[in-house]
Structure 1
Amino acid sequence: MRTHTVKTATLDQQVIEAGSGPLVVLIHGFPELSISWRAQVRALADAGYRVVAPDMRGYGGTTGPGQRTQDHTLPQLVEDTVALVAALGETQAVVVGHDWGAPVAWHCALMRPDIFRAVAGLSVPFQPRSESGPPIPAMRALAQRVGRGELYIVRFQEMADQIQFDADPAAALRKCFWSYDGATPAADRATGFIPAGLSLMESVSDDAVLPPWMGDDLFAEYVAAFSARGFKQPMDWYRCMDLNWERMADLQGRKITVPALFMVGEHDPARHYSGRHEKTLGDWATELRGNHVIAGAAHWLQQERPDQVNRLLLDFLAGLDV
């Protein structure tokens, strides 16, 4: 496994890479990095695949144009992934995404099935474009309807939480990882909804500790990366959600036709606000070959349950050419 920079048509992407064979691209979410996939890079490379996990736009060691909020839309993130495949000298890849990386992966398969021959999503199912309007007003309405404060996604549209994250990246990361982890007591686990009058940081106990799978050395890598880059660009992904809706009208009603796989942790907080799409996933991913709930896990699926995730991915990949 090596870390290096790939110069692409859109960005200079820092990646971790291992193996040779058919290409698999692993896309991380928030607040993650390419290192979130180390267990999968090893396992898939050992099984005969060329595996590449990039730091995504605005994260870690990846640099290039696009500092403005509007430079972080889904079409641009798909374009970054297309450009990465091309810069690696490949014409096709299987794309796998976790958390925010899952919508990127789903849309890679939706928009460029000629390049992305199969797709797997972790934690976040494919969510088709709504005909009724953009997502942020709908999320505000959902929070009002259930009377649980406000979704963190809506909070991230403003600067207040970003300022707190930037002021203490170690505390912010520790609280995020702890509150979305399956080993955290259910009463302390996040729901995605933040009580009125509190910030995300204030809504999570100061007693938060690192999850069992997060060693001090690994955590130090996350802290160093986010201390250097800050949280502005990662949060800009959230701030482009309504812009995504505006720019992707041409995708209304389009379905994913390549082989697809989905897995989610039983206790993943994301299921509180995106779980309903798990039931309809097969309607939109017409070649869905697995829809798995991993018992006892929560959000950081590939790090909480690496052996199970690796087995599901390897079985899926092995079946593509059968």
Structure 2
Amino acid sequence: MSQQAPEAVHRLVPSPAGRTHVVEQGTGPLVLLVHGFPESWYSWRHQLPALAAAGYRAAAIDVRGYGRSSRPGDLPAYRMPELVADNAAVVHALGEQSAVIVGHDWGSVIAADSALLRPDVFRAVGMLSVPYAPRGGPRPSTVFTRLGEEREEEFYVSYFQEPGRAEAEIEPDVRGWLAGFYAAFSADTMPAPDAPGPHFVGRGAQLRDRFPTGRLPGWLGERDLDVYAGEFERTGLSGALGRYRNMDRDWEDLADLDGTPLTQPSLFVGGGLDASTTWMADAIKAFPTTLPGLVSSRILDGCGHWIQQERPAEINEILTDWLAALPA
């Protein structure tokens, strides 16, 4: 039954990262919310009160390297098993033995791997924007290099690999860069289909050269942008980019999971205009095999990548309906 949500509470809890910043709201079964790049706990600002009002204890974290969570200086500290360990530690630090985990963008991948590696802790998994695709295939860096070579450009993931390179583009104007990045993948501001793709960098160019300019997406107010920019201006971008710089390490670390289906009850919601959905259409088609516990899969027409911020009411309804249908 819906109820009036209490105020959100910020806290720092011990984790393998050092400490993890958690923003929680509500009481009831624990739902851990994991953000993507380049975001923070704040990307769940619409979901925290809605889940709390529906009778859940919603807890949104800053992933290690972001916001008020610890930022280890060692690049391998951002490999996937370390992030999974943080998530399990947060659940236990909050006094719980298990939780439902929901992630967006990189958080979707982190949530899926958390469920795979710690099924004793994570009893169900929700994935927004990035569908589940089992570990397998060639080394990721090889795949992304080929993607760029096919177009005589550089794929953004490859562009992010060299420490310091993307930081040199972003950090002199964090707010402007973030505004362009968010606009590039939002339904109401993304470039036209025939415009140069913002996922790719021209030779000798910068990623921001293809970002839209002039207006913010409808979901992003000036104050919202201030929150995101303020955090990254304080922390820099290296911690956040550490996730991209460990993809080959993840591929090695998770070799034992090659082809493994994710069996817990699951949910996927994607945006119809999001490249993560269209490029990974084969992964979505494979869900009957790769997600045998799938409860619901939805594609929101006309929606971009920042799905829980672009369509908060729809996502809140989808999440609460899915949570209510899960086994106690």
Question: What's the CA shift for 1:193?
Answer: 2.4
Aligned match for 1:141, one of 142, 146, 163:
146
Alignment of 1:4-43 (within 5 A): 4-43=11-50
What are the residue-to-residue correspondences of 1:152-171 with 2, within 5 Å? Answer: 152-158=156-162, 159-171=164-176
- For 2:249, give the aligned amino acid: L
Q: Which amino acid aligns with 1:261?
A: L
Residue 308 of structure 1 aligns to a residue whose secondary structure is helix
Write out per-residue CA displacement over residues 235-283 of structure 1, whole angstroms, 9 at most, x where no aligned residue.
Answer: 1100100010011111112221100000111111323543431221331
**Corresponding residue number in structure 2 for 1:245:** 251
C-alpha contact (below 8 Å) 1:181/1:189 kept by paired residues: no
Q: How many residues align?
A: 318
TM-score, normalisation: structure 2 = 0.92
CA deviation string 1:138-166 (max 9, x = no partner): 12113333x26221011100232221111
Cα drift, residue 84 of structure 1: 0.5
TM-score, normalisation: structure 1? 0.94
Question: Where do residues 141-290 of structure 1 align in structure 2 (5 Å cutoff)?
Answer: 141-145=146-150, 147=151, 149-158=153-162, 159-187=164-192, 190-205=197-212, 207-271=213-277, 273-290=279-296
Give the deviation of 1:186 after TM superposition: 4.3
Tell me the C-alpha RMSD between the 2 structures: 1.7
Question: Is the alpha carbon distance of 1:141 and 1:9 closer, same or farther for their aligned partners in structure 2, counting shifts above 3 Å?
Answer: closer
5+ residue gaps, structure 2: 1-7
* 1:64-75 alignment runs, 5 A limit: 66-75=72-81
Q: What amino acid is the match of 1:56?
A: V
The list of structure 1 runs, each at least 4 consecutive aligned residues, that deviate by more than 6 angstroms after superposition, is: none
Give the SS at the match of 2:66. coil
Shift of 1:191: 4.8
Q: Which residue of 2 aligns with 1:85?
A: 91
Deviations 1:1-55 (A, max 9, x none): 1222222344311111100000000000000000110111110000000010011
Q: How many angstroms does 1:85 deviate by?
A: 0.4
Q: Which amino acid aligns with 1:149?
A: E
Q: Is the 8 A contact 2:112 2:132 kept in 1?
A: yes
Using the alignment, how far apart are the partners of 1:9 and 1:263 within structure 2?
30
SS at match of 1:108: helix
Rounded to whole Å, the distance in 1 between the matches of 2:17 and 2:168 is 28
User: C-alpha distance in 2, partners of 1:101/1:228?
Assistant: 22
2:261/2:291 contact within 8 Å kept: yes
1:106 aligns with one of 112, 128, 133: 112
Relative distance call for 1:26 and 1:194 in structure 2 (3 A) is same
Name the CA distance, whole Å, in 1 between partners of 2:275 and 2:223. Answer: 26
Question: What is the identity, as a one-letter code, of the residue corresponding to 2:239?
Answer: Q
What letter is aligned with 2:38? Answer: P
* 2:159 partner amino acid: R
